[in-house]
Amino acid sequence: MSTHDFPRCPEHLYFHWPFCSKKCHYCDFVAFQNHEQYQDAYHETLCCEVETFAQLTDALKTPIKTIFMGGGTPSLYDTTQMAELFAQLRERYNLSQLEEASIEVNPADVEEERLDAWRECGFTRLSIGVQALDDQLLARLNRRQRTQDVFKAMKLAPKYFDRMSIDLILGMPGVSQQQWKDTLTQAMNWPIEHISIYFLTIHEKTPLYFKVERGEHILPADESVIEMYQYTVEFLAHHGFEQYEISNFAKPGAESTHNKAYWDRKPYKGFGIGSSSFDGKSRFTNHKNLPDYLALYKNRSTITYDTKEVLSNQQALLEHLMLSLRQRNGVGLHSMVYLLNEDQKARFFIQVQELIKASLLEEINGNIRLTIRGMILENEVVISLI
């Protein structure tokens, strides 16, 4: 299928760099370790996809607002090749109104030469994968960095970037409540303005999944995770980090514009293996097989996807509800009224009241939003509403 599904180039672009020197044991993303021999070909293919999409959508007519490069480990992307990619973007896309360009980085890769190169490419924001401050735990999870790398990164990065975010994972095996509190306290000493707190998810067939099955890793009890999440929300608020989404906290004005575009269901284009795109009505996924992806763009005349899903009204409703509830402002009751038929309305409002009684939802100024406990049980809440 071609990009003519897209009426125009979206304002938000994502780039996927899938290569890692070590793949984390909890990772379920399209990522490869020990595949260095494919990196040159992948870079060329990525550039071909960028050029082809620009040709087919007349990309210069759309001012791009945000760029995000994720992975994998984008901080391992050869900086000369990355500069080539951004040169092509500036030539073929309208970056005159670019508001935000983020790159995910492993702390072990943060050094002055790379920081300078990332800034020269056009990145304005670093998203640093801290995850934990426990060297033994990081090693058990096959994370490449060590705690000393994080402290080094926090010393060097502010020389080049004003906007920095860190990722932490809540619910790691073997991390006590005091260790988690100490990690948060340490983070408050760093020059950051944004924090993402992700719940550890055990994906099937990952190394972590099998280790948990064998009893090699013991996960904390659900009630302990809920308690620490509530503590985290209150602790970060006390230090000026306002929660604006289930996993995301920012100082005023430092919210991630790119991620908010996903939650607001705005169109976006994903470049690279396994990346997703959304044109406002349908979702597309690029090929996840590396040889298949590398073979796609040799003729530079079409864009093809592995899957396309045209969303039904019910699916669009579910997405709107789910993504709105993830955000701290929640969802307006009036917006839901216009999307539901009479039978659905009656059931919806009954369920809303039941969930309010169960302290999973709260109503504020005509909006319903998740409580702290409701955020942890978000999937169950959404399913019960629909």
The string of pLDDT tens digits covering residues 31-52 is 999 899 999 999 999 999 999 9
For the chain, the C-alpha Rg in angstroms (whole number) is 21
Question: Of 346 and 257, which is predicted with more confidence?
Answer: 257
Of 119-123, 212-216, 247-251, least confident by mean pLDDT is 212-216
Q: Taking residues 343-355, report their average pLDDT.
A: 90
- Distance (Å, whole) CA 266 – CA 258: 10
Q: Give the pLDDT mean for 79-89.
A: 98
Q: Is the pLDDT of residue 204 over 50?
A: yes
Q: How confident is the model at residue 299 (pLDDT cuts 50, 70, 90)?
A: low
* Res 382: pLDDT: 87
pLDDT band at 300; cut points 50, 70, 90: low
pLDDT at 7: 82
Residue 102 dihedral angles phi and psi, to the nearest 5°: -110, 150
Long-range Cβ pairs for the range 227-235 (8 Å, 24+): 227/177, 228/170, 228/171, 228/177, 228/180, 229/170, 229/197, 229/199, 229/372, 229/375, 229/376, 230/372, 230/373, 231/177, 231/181, 232/170, 232/180, 232/184, 232/197, 233/372, 235/181, 235/184
